[in-house]
Amino acid sequence: MKNLIRFILRFHFVILFIIIEFVSLSVAFQFNNYQKAKVVKIIQNIKGFHHAKILSITEYLKLRETNEKLAFENVRLNNILQQAYRSDEIFFYKKEDTIFKQQYYLTTAKVINNSVNKQHNFITLNKGFEQGVKPEMAVISPDGVVGIVFGVSKRYSTVISLLNTNLKISAKLKKDDYFGSLEWDGKDYRNAVLNEIPYHVNIRRGDTIITSGYSTIFPEGVLLGYIDDFQVEGGNFYKIKVILSTDFKNLTYISLISNLHKQEQFKLENFFPDD
């Protein structure tokens, strides 16, 4: 108490000045609308700036959660598209009741390990057979092909990356359906090589390369990349340099594709009647 009294006695002029200033400003703002409006505007600007900063920080902290939601929503919408009704009449038989079919099912996963600087690169995902992941499922990103599921455990799975010299993918020119084999040459993670395109085909830099659909793994039309350069090799076929659409150094969330008709197609294509 003595310290408080001593402090007041020592700084009583300053304290009195502050009180008078506060009272004067209050009176001025109360009876003068112009000054009052100015003060209110300043306070609102300060509050707005403060809330904007807080919102920016909050949104940044929620980026991970937002990305996960977007990935799941993307997969949900893809599944809805796959379930879109289509009549079997467009195939080669007709029934009285229209039959609807879904060929591909998509689910999402997160990349937890990845490499791009080896000859045989693999990717690890945070989902396994408990979540429905199986070997030979196609793996894609929002930008295009990533690879094929190789090994699956209870809660994890590994993917043979497109950046693996052992992996070949059936690919074609989007503009005219000429198909060949796309593979990585082990050099630049941004490029791959497309072979087996006949030299008489008219190709140009910038032409789009997509999956052919000639397998039970990848659907037709998934983006692979764009023609960067080409040359005739061996006299009959092009050797085409392709800029990959997927940035393998920036993979976080991917989609896994399951072909629901895979076993039916596999059995038919590998059926050989007895002689």
**pLDDT tens track for 209-259:** 999 988 889 989 999 999 999 999 877 899 999 999 999 999 989 999 988
Q: Global pTM? A: 0.63
Cβ-contact 65, 76 below 8 angstroms: no
Give the CATH number, domain containing residue 141: 2.40.10.340
Cβ-contact 114, 251 below 8 angstroms: yes
Domain that holds residue 218: 100-275
3-state DSSP helix/strand/coil % of the chain, to nearest 5: 35, 30, 35
What confidence tier does 121 reach under pLDDT thresholds 50, 70, 90? very high
On whether residue 142 sits in a domain, the answer given is yes
Greater model confidence, 33 or 161: 161
Greater model confidence, 108 or 269: 108
Number of domains in the chain: 2
Q: Measure the CA–CA gap between 256 and 153, rounded to whole angstroms.
A: 15
The predicted model gives 23-43 an average pLDDT of 58
Question: Does residue 238 share a domain with residue 107?
Answer: yes
On whether residue 71 sits in a domain, the answer given is no
Cβ-contact 156, 125 below 8 angstroms: yes
On whether residue 92 sits in a domain, the answer given is no
- CA gyration radius for the chain? 32
On whether residue 119 sits in a domain, the answer given is yes
Torsion sign, CA atoms 175, 181, 182, 186: negative
Question: Does residue 246 share a domain with residue 186?
Answer: yes
Q: Measure the CA–CA gap between 212 and 178, rounded to whole angstroms.
A: 9
Q: What is the DSSP letter of 98?
A: P
Quote the pLDDT of residue 76: 65
Domain boundary among 60, 77, 110: 60
Q: Which residues share a beta bridge with 136?
A: none
Calculate the dihedral angle through the C-alpha atoms of 68, 71, 74, 75, rounding to the nearest 10 degrees.
-110
